[in-house]
Amino acid sequence: MYKFNVFGSEMSVFRKENEWQLFKESTTGIRARVYDVVIPQSLEPGEIAQYLDDIFHEMASKKHPTVERLS
């Protein structure tokens, strides 16, 4: 599992078989699957932050200007 701060929203990415799965994390520990974003299977773990930045760049703000890997 990889966790990211995506412009102020905490998200996690899991690899299940040959598929990357994206989840939005909540402050209560509940995660919700994000089905409308497909992460290419060929993406390496080190490339996910840049991919999320490209997909969610509209969420960028002065307070949260980048996507950061948390773990």
pLDDT tens-place string over residues 4-60: 999 999 999 999 999 999 999 998 989 999 999 999 999 999 999 999 999 999 999
Query: Which pLDDT does position 71 carry in this prediction?
Result: 86
State pTM to two decimals: 0.91
Question: What is the phi/psi pair of residue 38, to 5°?
Answer: -110, 120
Question: Which of 63, 39, 49 is closest to 6 using CA atoms?
Answer: 49
